Amino acid sequence: MITPPVRGGMPELGRALEAAERAGRAVMDVYRTEFEHDTKADGSPVTGADLASNQVIREMLEGSGHRILSEEDADDGSRLGERTLWIVDPLDGTSDFVDRTGEFTVMIALVRDGRPILGVIGWPDGGELYAAQKGAGAFRYSGGRWEGIRASDAGEIGRSKAVGSRHHLSEREKEAMARLGVGSFEGVGSSLKACRIACGEADLYFTYTDKMCEWDSAASSCIVAEAGGDDHRYKRRHDHVQPQRCEASGRDGHEQRRPA
């Protein structure tokens, strides 16, 4: 079990880290096989790894006393009355999993009063974990140790590095980056885009997608914010997390980078 990076932190942080670590192992067990995948009603892929990860996470979190909203479970709306809620994406970047790029993650967030207060992202193929607790900073676990992470302070748009979807980058997004004069761009899978922002390895990520759900960005929103970056994804509505247009950036100059 990995020791949490925050001394005297929320007990849920240790639980979420262990869940992400175990779920990551379950995901990699499937990844190393000749797996097959199905297609959901919305056209997105689903694999045995999604379901195996979801089962592991549920088993770990169910004893916490908080309800769970997961991409792989039915949502009956009853969660809207909950003040505190787990939000889970058991396998973010299933398309990257299917394409074997290695850029897929496990995402776990704890939300209170409509805002993420804890976020954990596991990168199984990279052997890394990212974690944040509100008011306590953001951290990366790599090579057997934790280190604090910080978003970049690059203020010049012409020298900034943008990241975006490897599979779903739209013409509108390409045009926006050209209009803004972004210095460079790299396609990155899953929530690793937000992790790049949080670590200062990229300066800007935005998307015009209207398909983003709570589980796609709750964990990464907490991590980016605690790393000192700016995340414009959330607003409070009916006491639950509700995504807006997604955008995340480093510490300086984010207002000039916001797409029109």
- Give per-residue pLDDT as tens, 177-204: 899 899 899 999 999 999 999 999 999 8
- Domain residues for the domain of 172 are 157-257
- Nearest to 79, CA basis, from 121, 149, 70: 70
Check the annotation: does 252 bind a ligand: no
At 258 the pLDDT is 36
Q: Say which DSSP state 259 is in.
A: -
Check the annotation: does 91 bind a ligand: yes
Q: Both 18 and 105 in a single domain?
A: yes
Q: Burial, 178: exposed, middle or buried (Cβ in 10 Å; 0-12, 13-18, 19+)?
A: exposed
The domain tally of the chain equals 2
203 assigned to some structural domain: yes
3 assigned to some structural domain: no
Strand partners, 107: 89, 121
Contact 5, 22 (CB under 8 A): no
The residue out of 148, 179, 212 marking a domain boundary is 148
DSSP per residue, 198-210 = HTTS-SEEE---S
Q: Both 19 and 47 in a single domain?
A: yes
Check the annotation: does 247 bind a ligand: no
* 19-21-26-31 Cα dihedral, nearest 10 degrees: 140
Please report how many Cα atoms fall inside a 13 Å half-sphere around the Cα of residue 125, on the Cβ side. Answer: 17
Q: Both 190 and 89 in a single domain?
A: no
Per-residue pLDDT of 140-155, as tens digits, reads 999 999 999 999 987 7
Strand partners, 67: 85
At 8 the pLDDT is 84
Per-residue pLDDT of 47-72, as tens digits, reads 999 999 999 999 999 999 999 999 99
5 assigned to some structural domain: no
Region 22-38: mean pLDDT is 97
Q: Where are the alpha helices (DSSP H) in the chain?
A: 11-31, 48-61, 94-99, 171-180, 192-198, 214-226, 254-257
Q: Both 138 and 161 in a single domain?
A: no
4 assigned to some structural domain: no
* 9-10-14-15 Cα dihedral, nearest 10 degrees: 180
At which residue do the structure tokens 């039915």 appear?
74
6 assigned to some structural domain: no
Axis crossing angle, helix 48-61 with helix 11-31, rounded to the nearest 10 = 160
The residue out of 148, 178, 202 marking a domain boundary is 148
- Nearest to 191, CA basis, from 122, 242, 113, 245: 122
Per-residue pLDDT of 91-124, as tens digits, reads 999 999 999 999 999 999 999 998 999 999 999 9
CATH code of the domain in which 228 resides:
3.40.190.80
